[in-house]
Structure 1
Amino acid sequence: MKMDPAPYPIGTPGTPWGEAERGEWRALQRRQRSYEADVLSVIERLRSHFDVQQYGELNVGDERFPLMAICSRDWQADLPVVLITGGVHGYETSGVHGALQFVDLHAADYAGRVNLLVAPCVSPWAYERIHRWNAHAVDPNRSFRQGSPAEESAALLQLVASVRERVLLHIDLHETTDTDEREFRPALAARDAKPYEPCGIPDGFYLVDDSEHPQPAFQQAVIEAVEKVTHIAPADDNGEIIGSPVVAKGVIQYPLTELGLCAGMTKARYKTTTEVYPDSARATPEQCNAAQVAAVCAAIDYVLVHR
């Protein structure tokens, strides 16, 4: 017999959260790692070869988080822009460290070919708490729209505004983790007073293409490169990954802009969201970072040929 899951420990079933419940949730979140030690120190080291800029500051209580971007030093007005984002969901570790690793190891290879704009950790408060939401229990990756309720998303939108029309490629680095099913989806159901419907966690890497402007050959080029580093998620028995039909090996589609997703924030011809599975018995943290790096390199290599 199917058992209903236990109620989420915050809020009243059937009633959306108000400020009291959001405050109760926030009080339970504990700092587990350091944005300064893990991210800012690496960015500072990269400053000798790249331009670094602060594009905003996130203030949560007495905590201050500078929002940082890394840019090509040889920025040229006639070159296309490649936008790389990580840590939109702060708990998705390889998105942050994969972006930084790409800059450290490979960004110089593209000097004079594209302008790189990299925001490696969009949600630093959530990075430190290893959480999906920001401090107000808002998902930044559903908030990339005018009048955004997420400060993190609004700041990134402002950063990108001046180059938005010139972005050729935007690759947004994410993970799908076991905690999505254990914690984040139940919390979302409780917050919004909706039924919790288990979805399952795919074992492996996959991509999310833009259903409004799909680029299947581009997506497959990225999949082929990543498959040399880690395994690709298979479709489930329904031919789906996380409830969406698999349209090609390791690829599903969302209406990126309509949903307010980070990857839909520009009019880039080429867009994709990576999804690494760090909880797999077949993958190490190093492989997860390497998969993100492989995806970024393959994406840039493809668009340089097919622009």
Structure 2
Amino acid sequence: MLRMEKGPENDSGAPLALKLAVIAGSGEIPRAVVMACKERGVLVFMLAFHGFTDPDVVAGCDHEWFSLGEVGRAINVLKNLGVKDIVMAGGGVVRRPSLFGLKLDKKGMELLSIIGLNWLGDNNVLVKISQFLEKEGFVLRSPQEFMPSFVSSCIGAMGRVSPSEARLKDIALGREMLRHLSALDFGQGMAMQNGLVLGVEAAEGTDECISRCGALQRNGEEGAVYVKRAKVGQDEKMDLPTIGPQTLKKIVIAGFSGIAFQTSKTIIVSPLEVATIADQAGVFVWGSE
């Protein structure tokens, strides 16, 4: 059953704010967007997709579940609710699905024909999805538009710990390698240890890449660093790199020395909690251009 909560009203009794739909992926960003919107009086409805959206993400929020192929039904629901503004938030939003059992409706088939079966690069796919939604009369908004303070302007350490000279070299090398990889629309993250690439973030996302690379570290050496960077030409409305408390917990469990991010191009969810976790574990969170 669809349900939209009643929003705040002004003195005349009229609603104060626009309605916003959040296409919810996994991770901490969708919930952060919802909380930030509620503080600003924005009515939020979440679109959850079976096999992609974490149930915890939409718990307690106005939402409806869809299969990934029900593009037409999702569009009709939003239009019936009078929603025009959409935010895509969270990991796995454009993760390539299996075509078997997708059960595409008419609009789903139209979107798939636009994207193409080769599914070349997340940014490329996001741009095509954005154009498709705009053609349907929607306006795509960025998560950071509703939570601008989450985009970190930090240069240097967020907490008390700073990277060693060896890790600073890895950070510089990782940034440069990611810059070149972005030309292929591939990868926002990379694990480095003393000049060795342990792994590049792919379809699994940041947290899983960190976990995978933890076991690949060389024994007897300082722990690796995870480097996050936006792709060159990234559409910033849809897929900026994101770090949150869960990311830091993965860094600690994996035995990494820390994580580095691109200043002014990275969303930091709950920055105080991120810094606290880092300080308690003795790892660094390092911002640089």
TM-score normalised by structure 2 residue count: 0.36
The structure having more radius of gyration, on CA atoms, is: 2
Query: Which structure has more RCO (C-alpha within 8 Å, separation ≥ 6)?
Result: 1
TM-score normalised by structure 1 residue count: 0.34
